[in-house]
Amino acid sequence: MQRYEKLKEEIIKTDKLSEEQKAQSVEHIEEWIAEDRGFGLIYDELVEFNIAFKDIFKDLGLV
């Protein structure tokens, strides 16, 4: 998660992007953070339900 925060900080500091581009970029990063958290929760819950999900996720190349 720290890498996302660092990236957001650097985006905000740069003079290579407009304010609108900065805002859109930060918004995308925040969406990615939510998706990463969501995926982690799904993975944890399914693996807890049945250990076979660990292999399923691995076979799909998701972990």
**DSSP class per residue in 38-60:** HHHHHHHHHHHH-THHHHHHHHT
Q: Is residue 28 part of a domain?
A: yes
Is pLDDT of 12 > 90? yes
Residue pair 47/54 in contact by the 8 Å Cβ criterion: yes
Mapping DSSP to helix (H, G, I), strand (E, B) and coil, where does residue 63 land? coil
Residue pair 25/17 in contact by the 8 Å Cβ criterion: yes
Query: How many domains, in total, are found in the chain?
Result: 1
Q: Is residue 7 part of a domain?
A: no
Is pLDDT of 23 > 90? yes
Structure confidence at residue 9 as a pLDDT band (50, 70, 90): very high
Model confidence, pTM: 0.66
Q: Is residue 14 part of a domain?
A: no
Q: Domain limits at 58?
A: 19-63
Give the pLDDT score at 15: 94
Q: Is residue 61 part of a domain?
A: yes
Give the pLDDT score at 4: 81
Q: Is residue 33 part of a domain?
A: yes
Nearest to 46 by CA among 32, 62, 23: 62
Q: Is residue 63 part of a domain?
A: yes
